[in-house]
Every structure is written in structure tokens, then in C-alpha cells.
Homo-oligomer: A and B are copies of this chain.
Amino acid sequence: MLFAERGYDGTSVDDLVQGLGVHRGSLYKVFGSKRGLYLAALRHHLEDEVLPTVAALTVTSGPAEALAQAAGGFDGGAAAGLLLSAAVHQAPTDPDVAALVEEALRALERALAAVLGEPADSPLIGALGASVLGLRLRDRAFGPAASAPAVHALAVRLAD
């Protein structure tokens, strides 16, 4: 997904037209504007990738596996960049984006809470959700090499 790789401002409509192989006119007919397409992409990413992955956490064999899957999941890395990018750059100024990002994080925290047997609104769960996001950010900036051991260490330390 182009938005995930280059961010909203870094992706031009020309890039989208060329990358998606769709015609300019169709794009504006269906989505109305660049922002409309962005919101649709974010919603799609949330509903078809983040939420299913998050739902799958609750049937893992334990906290360590659940955390590892959360930090590595979503869709292999590329589109989780869309969530990160939205949280960092769009959410602070766009309420619609902020609502979608918040929904994604709440779902993640609910799943983590269920696995760990904690209340969903506990501070620890909030910290854990943030940790998952931070590990994805690390992957994005430095490549995915370092995160797997890190998340394992965090999991065994927390889920004692």
C-alpha cells in the first residue's frame, strides 16, 4: 500500500492512479477525494487486517505467543505502517483518522487483556499495547531483525 510506505502527503494522486492501475475519473467518482480514498484504505486495513489478527490473539496458546503474534502480525509489516503513519501524522489533526486509530488500539488492548487475564482498561494493558506499536515502529525504522527476541523477552517477563 502506497500510503503506508510514503505517508499521506508523500503519496500523490498520480502515484495512486499509476500504482493501482485505476483511472483518475473512477477514483474520484468512487472516493470523492484523495482523503476519501485514504480513509477507505485505513478502514479496510483496520477491518480486514488488524481486527482479524487481533481476534486471533485470543486463541493463541499463551501470553508470549499472543504478544509475538501481535507485534509481528497485522499483515506482515507493510500495512501496519499505515496504522503507524496515521497515528503519527493524520490522527493529531484529522478526527476521522483519530477515531479509526483509536478503534484499532482499543481492539488490540482488549485482546491483550483477554489473553493476560487483566481488565481491558488497566494501565499495564495500555502500556503493552503501546509496546506492540513501538516494536512495529522499530521494525519499520530498522528492519524486522531485532523485534522477535525483544517481544519474547517482554512476554516472558510480563506473563510470569
A interface residues, Cβ below 8 angstroms from B: 5-7, 9-10, 81, 84-85, 87-89, 91-93, 98, 101-102, 105, 122-124, 126-135, 137-138, 140-142, 146-147, 149-154, 157-158
Partner of A105, one of B88, B101, B129, B138: B138
Copies of this chain assembled into the complex: 2
Q: Say how far A159's CB is from chain B's closest CB, in angstroms.
A: 10
Q: Say how far A86's CB is from chain B's closest CB, in angstroms.
A: 8
Q: Say how far A122's CB is from chain B's closest CB, in angstroms.
A: 7
Q: In the bound complex, do residue B141 and residue A98 qualify as a contact, i.e. CB atoms below 8 Å apart?
A: yes
Residues of B within 8 A of A140 (CB): 87-88, 91-92
Q: Say how far A73's CB is from chain B's closest CB, in angstroms.
A: 16
Q: Which of A131, A132, A142, A149 has the most C-beta atoms of chain B within 10 angstroms of its own C-beta?
A: A131
Partner of A135, one of B87, B122, B130, B152: B130
Residues of B within 8 A of A122 (CB): 153
Q: In the bound complex, do residue A89 and residue B92 qualify as a contact, i.e. CB atoms below 8 Å apart?
A: no
Residues of B within 8 A of A141 (CB): 87-88, 91-92, 98, 101-102, 105
22 contacts across the A-B interface (CB closer than 8 A) = A5-B92, A87-B137, A87-B140, A88-B137, A88-B140, A89-B89, A92-B140, A98-B141, A102-B142, A105-B141, A123-B149, A124-B153, A124-B154, A126-B150, A126-B153, A127-B135, A127-B153, A127-B154, A129-B134, A130-B138, A132-B134, A133-B134
